[in-house]
């Protein structure tokens, strides 16, 4: 199983099911599985024509559009690695990542600021080796997005390696032969890479843990170029559900979007979740912008009956989850350390509120080992190691004892970057229970 075969299977099962929605105040675009399939195969052919092959990098700097899905799947199917870049992020960080990754192709949206292209062009030229026979400049693919027409001439976006327009999707393209298991995605700034098999395994496990299926709709408050949102987008794909892409999504538009599209699952940071709950608890008529009416305090009415799961990333306080729970919205904390596919851990529904309202949970992938180390030990002196599959100490580290252990969490096994060797140090303080659950306690101090 790979990403292309996953999409193929979904399309054969129900070609007309909606796999993604590109939100828009007036004209949202509902993307069917068959449409995404056609887009992906055509883009795959375009990328192959541009010289993309096994081991290459494709940098994707696009707004929060469904195009991100087709670029990811098409790139991975060629054995290449997609690097997602946030076009709203600092221009200096974007330039540094592109220069460091040396992509064969760079996808840019047609409205990218001139400052960004100018800085990219200058940085790429400065990094060029005068003795080299090939230019380090990527070919630029100019992507118009779901609500705009492509430019007539892509040459203004040329950074020295040429520029081209993705072809319109056509029907009837055959399923290509794919093999291998290459790094398929990497996240800036560290470019931690994950093989396709790791992505599929984690996405499938997440979809099963959340019960994602046809008819569900997932919303994340971060753009899909962010590791947390991208992981949930792939889980949505694996579960056969629908993912909402909205480049304009923020705290002011979130309530209306959740109601408008009948969201069933929400992934939010702690601050956004708390503000959302407070807004729904507040007095007033509300609803004038299409957002759900505030609940009746006397009846405890649910402002959004369709929403059956709200995940709060790395919650250090129970306030947000408790406030949502009081509205009838099932809310749970989850754990998503930086540099690890998200979520790393989720709380089951049957856990006490003392646990499930805070960051942490049971690891999504069972074949991982956890240990906590002394925060003051620069080399990471282990305190205990736990195998979540059995809840026992596998004996790889001395000093294990019964009861929770607290320190800097380290992870080995599934869900960590394929480039990582040995133990992956998260930089987060956490405790690990005898059963293998994680309780997130916040970032470690700088010396950890």
* Residue range 155-191, pLDDT digits in tens: 999 999 999 999 998 877 777 777 767 888 888 767 7
Whether omega before 189 lies within 30 degrees of 0, making that bond cis, reads yes
Q: Could you tell me the pLDDT band of residue 393, with boundaries at 50, 70 and 90? A: very low
Alpha carbons 74 and 36: distance in angstroms, whole number: 11
What confidence tens digit (pLDDT) does each residue in 241-253 have? 999 999 999 989 9
Per-position DSSP letters for 357-409, written without gaps between them: TSSEEEESSSSEEEEEE-TT-TT--EEEEEBTTTTB--SSSTT--SS-EEEEE
Number of domains in the chain: 2
Angle between helices 3-13 and 67-77 (to 10 degrees): 120
**Sign for the pseudo-dihedral over CA of 48, 50, 54, 60:** negative
DSSP for residue 26: S
Closest to 240 (Cα-Cα) out of 23, 32, 26 = 32
On the question of pLDDT at 347 being above 70, the answer is yes
pLDDT, residue 447, reads: 46
103 has pLDDT over 90:
yes
Q: Of the candidates 45, 37, 2, 44, which has an alpha carbon nearest to the alpha carbon of residue 20?
A: 37
Least confident among 70-79, 258-267, 300-309: 300-309
Domain's final residue, options 169, 191, 213: 191
Poorest-pLDDT segment among 147-161, 333-347, 413-427: 413-427
* pLDDT for the residue numbered 105: 98
In this structure, the number of other CB atoms found within 10 A of the CB of residue 398 comes to 10
Q: What percent of the chain has pLDDT over 90?
A: 66
In a domain, 320, yes or no: no
Q: Identify the pLDDT of residue 283.
A: 45
**Residue 301 covered by a domain:** no
Closest CA to 59 of 103, 124, 99, 97: 103
In this predicted structure, what is the pLDDT of residue 360?
Answer: 97
Span 334-349, average pLDDT? 92
Task: Give a yes or no: residue 86 inside a domain.
Answer: yes
pLDDT of 182 reads 81
pLDDT at residue 282, as a whole number: 80
Asked whether residue 377 is assigned to any structural domain, the reply reads yes
Lowest mean pLDDT among 163-167, 263-267, 282-286: 282-286
Cα 120 from Cα 23, distance rounded (Å) = 29
With a cut of 70, say whether residue 422 has pLDDT above it: yes
270 pLDDT above the threshold of 90? yes
Last residue of a domain, one of 136, 157, 191: 191
Q: Flag whether 423 is in a domain.
A: yes
Q: What is the domain extent for residue 409?
A: 366-448
pLDDT of residue 291: 52
The whole-chain average pLDDT of the chain stands at: 87
Closest CA to 335 of 199, 428, 263, 436: 428
Query: What CATH number does the domain containing 92 carry?
Result: 3.40.50.12780
- Model pLDDT, residue 401: 34
pLDDT value for 387 = 55
Q: How far is CA 83 from CA 59, 112, 154, 232, 443, in A?
A: 5, 17, 22, 16, 26
Mind listing the pLDDT tens digit for each residue in 220-263? 999 999 999 999 999 999 999 999 999 999 989 999 999 999 99
Asked which of 159, 191, 223 is the last residue of a domain, the reply is: 191
Taking 90 as the threshold, does the pLDDT of residue 374 lie above it?
no
Residue 50, pLDDT > 70, answer yes
Contact partners, residue 276, CB within 8 Å, separation at least 6: 251, 254, 255, 268, 324
pLDDT score at 378: 55
- pLDDT value at residue 286: 40
395, pLDDT greater than 50: no
Residue 377, pLDDT score: 62
CB atoms within 10 A of CB 170: 11
Query: Which pLDDT score, from 0 to 100, does residue 298 have?
Result: 40
In a domain, 415, yes or no: yes
| CATH number for position 445 | 2.30.38.10
């Amino acid at each position: 199983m790979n990403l292309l075969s996953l999409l193929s299977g979904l399309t054969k099962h129900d070609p007309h099911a909606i796999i993604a929605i590109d939100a828009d105040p007036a004209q949202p675009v509902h993307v069917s599985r068959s449409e995404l399939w056609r887009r992906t195969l055509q883009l795959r052919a375009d990328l192959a024509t541009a010289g993309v092959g096994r081991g290459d990098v494709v940098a994707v700097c696009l707004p929060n559009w469904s195009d991100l899905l087709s670029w990811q799947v098409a790139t991975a199917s060629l054995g290449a690695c997609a690097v997602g870049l946030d076009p709203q992020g600092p221009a200096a960080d974007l330039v540094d990542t592109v220069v460091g990754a040396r992509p064969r192709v760079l996808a840019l949206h047609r409205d990218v600021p001139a400052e960004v292209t100018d800085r990219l062009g200058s940085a790429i030229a400065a990094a060029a080796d005068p003795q080299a026979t090939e230019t380090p400049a990527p070919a630029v693919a100019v992507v118009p997005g779901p609500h705009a027409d492509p430019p007539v001439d892509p040459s203004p976006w040329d950074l020295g390696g040429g520029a081209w327009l993705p072809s319109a999707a056509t029907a009837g393209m055959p399923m290509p032969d794919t093999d291998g298991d290459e790094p398929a995605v990497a996240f800036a700034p560290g470019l931690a890479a994950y093989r396709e098999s790791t992505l599929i395994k984690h996405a499938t496990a997440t979809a099963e843990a959340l019960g994602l299926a046809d008819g569900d709709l997932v919303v994340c408050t971060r753009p899909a170029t962010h590791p947390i949102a991208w992981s949930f987008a792939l889980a949505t794909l694996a579960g056969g559900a629908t993912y909402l892409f909205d480049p304009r999504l923020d705290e002011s538009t979130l309530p209306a979007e959740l109601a408008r599209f009948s969201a069933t699952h929400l992934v939010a940071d702690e601050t956004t979740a708390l503000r959302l709950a407070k807004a729904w608890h507040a007095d007033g008529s509300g609803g004038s912008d299409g957002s759900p009416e505030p609940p009746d305090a006397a009846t405890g009415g649910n402002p959004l009956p369709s929403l059956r799961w709200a995940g709060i990333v790395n919650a250090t306080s129970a306030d947000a989850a408790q406030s949502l729970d009081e509205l009838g919205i099932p809310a749970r904390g989850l754990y998503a350390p930086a540099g690890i596919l998200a979520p790393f851990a989720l709380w089951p529904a049957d856990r006490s509120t003392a646990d499930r309202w805070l960051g942490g949970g049971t690891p999504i992938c069972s074949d991982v080992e956890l240990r906590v180390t002394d925060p003051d030990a620069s080399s990471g002196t282990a305190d205990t190691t736990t195998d979540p599959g059995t809840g026992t100490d596998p004996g790889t580290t001395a000093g294990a004892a019964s009861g929770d252990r607290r320190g800097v969490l380290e992870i080995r096994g599934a869900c960590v970057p394929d480039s990582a060797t040995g133990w992956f140090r998260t930089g987060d303080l956490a405790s690990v229970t005898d059963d293998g659950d994680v309780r997130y306690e916040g970032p470690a101090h700088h010396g950890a």
